[in-house]
Structure 1
Amino acid sequence: MLPRLMAVLLLSGLLSGSLLAGLGDATAAKAAAQTNACVPPGGWSDAAARPLNAADLLRRAAASPAVLLGERHDNADHHRWQLHSLAALHALNPDLAVGMEMFPRSVQPVLDRWSAGQLTEAELLRETNWPKVWGYDARFYLPILHFARMNRLPVVALNVDRGLVSRTAREGWAAVPAGEREGVGDPAPPPASYTERLRQVMAAHGPTERRSGSFERFVEAQSVWDRAMAERIAETHRRTGRTVVAILGQGHIEGRDGVPHQLADLGIRNSVVLLPWDEDRPCAELDGRIADAVYGLGESEAPAETPRPRLGVMLEPGPDGVRVRSVTEGSVAAAAGLTAGDLVVAAAGSPVREASDLTTVVQRQAPGTWLPLTVKREQGTAELVAKFPAAPVVE
């Protein structure tokens, strides 16, 4: 693409002094815009966009019982920021533990062997069943895992099996027997601000998800999820005396409503919430309470990646397949005719026995391709075709 563009510019005689001057003006304008950004790249600000002294902030964080580093799971810059923040905290306090949302409690023995230097990367990913359990690009997380192992820091599995969360959303927490809760205690009731944020998330889904009972179970499931991770953080800190640096999705910590709220209920009220702040994120979201501090990220130098294909459904386990819990309006799934209650039993001719079987097939879809789906309904079996949009042409 670049050679073609350069050829066009040369042939048209546009590489002139006036163009170079224009590029200089554009660069200066961009620098000025960054200077005036609500969170200037390369600096820390508080939740109201006031600049912070980095040394003072990091010293406070390194002395706290828990530091929560948020992320968007598919954003490479967020993971780079997490790694550098972890390194800065370690320089001030070598007695750290690294908690990770990406692993369920059941694989803790595997993580212990990793931290002790007893596993290769391939063995770690295989024994934790990374593609099925988490699925996001492991290259985003391996530098953090290597940093922990290089410094012999414990890596702590913060999560629970996804089935526990989805079961809570389907049946309610009270319906889950105590012996099947993976040791998770009853979550503290969520604050109103968290409930409202989750309501906005649910608004993107179909009418089935807007029913009161369904929404209440959804909020309960999120609270159980937050509670599980908070318990692991609190238990690790109290058992080891280490500051736990937790790597987890920003939705679990923004506004101190999710994991920080559950930590406070567990007696840890002085956790520190830190977030990366993307250049294009609206300044209005700096509402004075979103985090203890945010770090400004400039424009990414990484090449743009093709967005992951998305079907646009919420799934739950079903008999001999996965059941569609809801369908996002305007999505590929909606256009294909999928509806809430459908049982997906095959995709591209391959059996679908659990949600990961379907998501794996979907994520392999190239732009502009069609995916045959076999679903069971009360009326019988139906054959549907999910048509994924073509990738936009970049010139």
Structure 2
Amino acid sequence: MKGDRTRWLLVCSLLAVAGALGLALLLPGSAARSAACAAPVGWLRIAGANGESVPANEVLARAAEADVVLLGEQHDDEDHHRWQAQVLAGLHALRPQLVVGFEMFPRRVQPALDRWVAGELSVPALLTQTAWEENWSFPAAFYLPLFEFARINRLPMLALNVDSSLTRAIGDKGWDAVPEQEREGVGRAAPASEAYRDFLFSVYREHAHGQGGRDSRGFRHFVEAQLNWDRAMAEALAARLASGQREGRAALVVGVMGSGHLRHGHGVPHQLRSLGVGRVVTLLPVASSEACHELQPGLADALFVLPPKPVLPVAPPRLGVQLEDAAGTAGGVRVQAVTTGSLAEKSGLLAGDQVLEVAGRPALKAAAVVSTVRAAAPGTWLPLRLRRGETTLEIVVRLPPE
């Protein structure tokens, strides 16, 4: 049973990466489209199997007439968050009454978001009171422009997510087995479409080490966990929309979340429709190198093609390890494998080591450890604190100079 749980937690983590970061299955013929087209930078509207440029004011004007606007992202791409800030500013100019919901926050931290918008918290206090590093594994600096925009304009911020322990519990034993009082008020999700199940199964099959088919209990729980995640965010958005309408304040409700929750109208848009919210607009950012094969009918209402990023003169540091989020309530990060000849091997890291701290900061999530290492300057001496069996070790990784 412990092995099954560990496999599930790994799969759940990978689903968060594959789904929330917007990694998609390519439709047949997408490679041919990629070779045959050259998408311009800026807004695109999908027309058949192709895209056509559309003025920004046209996209924003249509979005501003909706009830809910959903902005996708790849969590670790800073340009995606800059784009989100740009879209928020444009929407705010057209619909000053705006509410912004964030996947990054579980519902229990809503009071801290209210205090932030009211101007009562500093940035460090906001991150502490929302337990940012515990709840989200990506740099807060990526999101702070969005949070500051809300604070400066006194726009309500909405915590959309549930606690990760609920997602794990559903993945472990299924939605029905979780007591109602532990579901954080989330109702039963609308069933997934076959297309959504196909996508989820492709992720499950790739990362679950072949454990079970489409009819297996493991995959069923896997789907239920993802649907609950989608449903929780949809319910939070719909509830805020309804409360504003009752009070005669028809604010535009914007949701900021991973693109995997939005693509092709699956996930959150599907759950919103089941809740009676009909006027939903989905906008997604894409890299210029990915734009052509992303031109799939029904993917989104509009795409924003980002320009290529400048080539870095030096590749970011890599330790040469495979990391996974550790199972159990204590969490943490475990070294799954060490690459032969890598910096990690030369520094003395071994498979099975648990990373406790990186550069003096607690290692809570594998993605956060990767971000910390890659942000380190060339030539840095990077201290690690590890647990190996019953022993705690201090190791210094000497990153190569530029």
TM-score range, shorter chain: 0.7 to 0.9
Question: How well do the aligned residues superpose, as a CA RMSD in angstroms?
Answer: 3.9
Flag the structure with larger Rg: 1
- What is residue 265 of structure 1 aligned with on the other side? 274
Residues of 1 paired with 2:242 and 2:303: CA distance?
27
1:322-371 Cα shifts (integer Å, max 9, x gaps) = 799xx79x9999x9666xxxxx8x43699xxx992776666655899998
What pairs with 1:88-103 in structure 2 (closer than 5 Å)?
A: 88-103=90-105
Greater alpha carbon shift after TM alignment, 196-205 vs 358-367: 358-367
Correspondence for 1:318: 328
Instruction: Please tell me whether the aligned partners of residues 208 and 214 of structure 1 are also in contact (alpha carbons under 8 angstroms).
Output: no
Per the alignment, in what secondary structure is the counterpart of residue 207 of structure 2? coil
From 85, 107, 110, the equivalent of 2:109 is 107
Q: Which residue of 1 aligns with 2:17?
A: none
Q: Within 2, Cα distance between the matches of 1:349 and 1:94?
A: 43
SS at match of 1:228: helix
Aligned to 1:199: 201
* Selected match of 2:118 from 106, 113, 116: 116
Structure 1 unaligned regions, length at least 5: 1-35, 339-343
Cα deviation, 1:248-306, whole Å, max 9, x if unaligned, reads 11111111101101111111122110001211105233111111100111112485873
Do the aligned partners of residues 373 and 86 (structure 1) sit closer, same or farther apart at CA in structure 2, a change above 3 Å counting? same
Q: Within 1, Cα distance between the matches of 2:227 and 2:97? A: 29
- Whether the aligned pair in 2 keeps the contact of 1:308 and 1:363 (CA below 8 Å) is no
Select 2:364's aligned residue among 337, 356, 360. Answer: 356
For the residues of structure 1 that align with 2:221 and 2:41, how far apart are their CA atoms? 40
Deviation larger for 292-301 or 195-204: 195-204
Amino acid at match of 1:265: S
C-alpha distance after superposition, 1:84-110 (max 9, x if no partner) = 011111111111101111111001011
- Pairwise CA distance, 1:112: 0.5
Q: Secondary structure at the match of 2:176?
A: helix
- Where structure 2 has 5 or more consecutive residues not aligned to the other structure, the ranges are 1-35, 245-249
Match of 1:7 in 2: none
Q: Distance in 1 between matches of 2:365 and 2:319?
A: 15
Partner of 2:61: 59
In the TM superposition, what are the counterparts of 1:62-211 in structure 2 within 5 Å?
A: 62-207=64-209, 209-210=211-212
Displacement after TM superposition at 1:202 (Å): 2.3
Q: Retained in 1: the 8 A contact 2:46–2:296?
A: no
Cα 1:314–1:191, aligned 2, differ >3 Å: closer, same or farther?
A: farther
Report SS of the residue matched to 2:116.
helix
Q: 1:59 to 1:282 in 2, by over 3 A?
A: closer
2:221 match: 217
Question: How far off its partner does 1:167 sit?
Answer: 1.0
Q: Counterpart of 1:173 in 2: which secondary structure? A: coil
Assess if the C-alpha contact under 8 Å between 1:309 and 1:363 holds in 2.
no
Structure 2 counterpart of 1:44: 44
Who is 2:5 aligned against?
A: none
Tell me: higher relative CO, structure 1 or 2? Use CA pairs within 8 A at least 6 residues apart.
Answer: 2
Which letter does structure 1 place at the counterpart of 2:266?
D
Structure 1 distance, partners of 2:220, 2:261, is 17
Q: Could you tell me the TM-score, scaled by structure 2's length?
A: 0.73
Q: Provide the rounded CA distance (Å) in 2 between the counterparts of 1:319 and 1:151.
A: 38
